[in-house]
A = this chain, B = another copy of it.
Amino acid sequence: MERKGNLMTYRPDIKVFDATVRDGGLVNNFFFTDEFVKALYIANLRAGVDYMEMGYLADKDIFNPEEFGDWKFCRDEAIRRIVGNNDTDMKLSVMADVGRANLQRDLLPKEESVLDMVRVATYINTMPAAIEMIEYAHKLGYETTCNIMAISKANTPDIEEALALLAKSPVDAVYIVDSYGALFPEQIQQLASLYVETMEKAGKRVGIHAHNNQQMAFANTVEACSMGASFLDATVGSMGRGAGNCAMELLLGFLKNPKYNLTPILDFYEHYILGLKESGLKWGYDIQYLLTGKMNLHPSSAIAFTKEDRRDYVDFYHQLFDLEP
């Protein structure tokens, strides 16, 4: 497939998607202050960010609300504390995990809600449940995406089948999600070609959500973009689970559309992200994440290694061989 655009131009179909609160919330159980979320909302608005994800729409029957901040559940009244009616051009999104959300009970009809988009996160083997959720959210009036997680573990014929199902669904965009930070640009290129080819025919978009285990989150995002992906996920300071995400500051520094502005993000980093780091929250590239990424494993063991302040990388590496499927 041909690359789309080049380094001197920009494509108007590109949407920058801020996932700082949602993926970053996995680092601090979503205990962000309202001041933090509001400052991020304003920084995103000034930076020209197209979508901001407010968090998860998690089921309170499954997750104890006392153990998590508001952004795990994203009830409308919490979001309105930050954004009022969001009378802006930036759209707001929420993520719903298959099996961990109750849309029928918790998702308001679009006209009563301040949210614009529901992103359904699924593994490839729960695609029918994901499509049911997408259809429901679509019927309520929302834009929808399907975020197929851990794609580095999926078999290509299964991916093709999933994409065929999604092409027939009302979903607006389908994401490549490299949950394990295992993929290299060459693989992203192949996946993005496959996604774009299938989805373009159905009038749908493709997105990319990358993790930084092997310092490839930004490179993979640029690669997917170059192959035609439109929705580009990023988080300020790479904040996110484990090795973190594609950094918003790198992405906005790269994109050529003059509507994007790096300065408000630098300002937010300086005044809010540095503070989280100093408070002891840990995320971002490190050797243990490289190792799980390289071995195409869930980062949970590397996250535990980090929490325990371990530094025995050699032992950890050899323990990982026992986890290999």
Query: Which positions in A face B, CB cutoff 8 Å?
Result: 3, 6-7, 184-187, 212, 214-219, 222-223, 226, 247, 249-250, 253-254, 262-263, 266-267, 269-270, 274, 287, 290-291, 294, 311-314, 317-318
Contacts of A254 in B (CB 8 A): 184, 214, 294
Q: How far is the CB of A221 from chain B (nearest CB, A)?
A: 11
Q: List 24 A-B contacts (CB under 8 A).
A: A3-B186, A185-B185, A185-B219, A185-B222, A185-B223, A214-B218, A214-B254, A215-B217, A215-B247, A216-B218, A218-B219, A253-B290, A253-B291, A262-B317, A263-B314, A263-B318, A266-B287, A266-B313, A266-B314, A267-B314, A269-B287, A269-B313, A270-B313, A270-B314
A249 and B290 in contact, given A266-B317, A312-B270 (Cβ under 8 angstroms): yes
List, in ascending order, chain B residues with CB within 8 A of A267's CB.
313-314
Asked if A7 and B263 make an inter-chain contact with CB atoms under 8 angstroms apart, the answer reads: no
On chain B, the residues within 8 Å of A250 by CB distance are: 214-215, 290
Query: Chain B: which residue is nearest A222 at the CB level?
Result: B184
Of all A-B residue pairs in the complex, the 3 with the closest CB atoms, nearest first, are A219-B219, A253-B294, A266-B313
